[in-house]
Structure 1
């Protein structure tokens, strides 16, 4: 039996074909981590990050960026991350206020890994800034999502973001909490 294809069916088929062809590209455009990083690594990194920063529900997209930045600096980062998780589990470290005593009993590499992860979340980048050099190893993670702004958000304006109208800063604030 022969079946004829009408114009609507042809256009629908072409639209589906086009969308399926472009979909990997479109989703890759917004993805934060390459396809070759196992999703479990990102999940483990996010859980570890929440544990290290004592902040529940960190942004998973930012976790992908931070993980990638740390991986770009050190290809051995996944192993170091697992070593840190194991050391924290063995020491039963659940409260980061006890990190100093934990760090005193750990190898330098374990402590350095923890500090690198915490720094990525608080500073919003990984690596070491080399002043005005274009060849440093820094990788952008986030700007307004950097955790360093949260403790003083009621009093500190995130650089380049105005909280008020033009020249709002001319008059002193009524209180720190309302400015």
Structure 2
């Protein structure tokens, strides 16, 4: 048996094997993390000003408290799907400012039919549905925070397999009432 295969081999050989194992683990870990890093790095590419404009037009179009994190993800995805979105948002904000709008009803009738109206409707739809398109396999941006559930949150449960609601598997289940005795 050659010397480098024995347990009492010189230190250089055992360190070399450990370095190979550790290097392989690090390489595999970095390859596994690469898709995650590329997905999160796209979040950084959106500048503050376009995000602020997206949130401004969203708050004018939608009369609810909007989550900034969901808004950021929606803005990035909508900009990737529709490259002209930033220009449309600027035009929509100009119409709203011209009308001194505080709510959607103040300026929505003045939006011309065509791409601007479609952009406004797609922003509203994305916030309410939590997805950009209503198609199988669509990326979900907001599930339990999708705005379609907010008007009826006190009477309607969000569809889920967890008994106490979305993410309910980590919540303490409410106590059951006493069963009637016959």
With normalisation by structure 1, the TM-score equals 0.63
Which protein has the larger Cα radius of gyration, Structure 1 or Structure 2? 2
Pairing partner for 1:101 from 95, 102, 109? 109
- Name the count of aligned residue pairs: 134
100 and 59 in structure 1: CA distance in 2 versus 1, 3 angstrom threshold: closer
Q: Distance in 1 between matches of 2:105 and 2:96?
A: 13
Q: In structure 1, list runs of 5 or more residues that go unmatched.
A: 1-24, 169-179
Q: In structure 2, list runs of 5 or more residues that go unmatched.
A: 1-33, 166-172, 177-182
What is the CA distance between 1:30 and its match in structure 2?
Answer: 9.1
Q: Is the 8 Å Cα contact of residues 41 and 78 (structure 1) preserved in structure 2?
A: yes
Pairing partner for 1:122 from 128, 148, 151? 128
Post-superposition Cα deviations, 1:58-100, rounded to whole Å, max 9, x if no partner, equal 2111011111121121111111111111122123332223455
Q: Is the 8 Å Cα contact of residues 125 and 142 (structure 1) preserved in structure 2?
A: yes
What is the CA distance between 1:128 and its match in structure 2?
Answer: 4.3
Tell me: higher relative CO, structure 1 or 2? Use CA pairs within 8 A at least 6 residues apart: 1
Q: Is the 8 Å Cα contact of residues 51 and 72 (structure 2) preserved in structure 1?
A: yes
Q: Distance in 1 between matches of 2:80 and 2:45?
A: 13
Match of 2:56 in 1: 47
Pairing partner for 1:113 from 86, 94, 119? 119
SS in 1 for 2:102: coil
1:59 aligns with 2:67: yes
Match of 1:142 in 2: 142
Mapping of residues 70-89 of structure 1, within 5 Å: 70-89=78-97
Q: Is the 8 Å Cα contact of residues 99 and 107 (structure 2) preserved in structure 1?
A: no
SS in 1 for 2:90: helix
With normalisation by structure 2, the TM-score equals 0.62
159 and 99 in structure 1: CA distance in 2 versus 1, 3 angstrom threshold: farther
Mapping of residues 2-41 of structure 1, within 5 Å: 31=40, 33-41=42-50
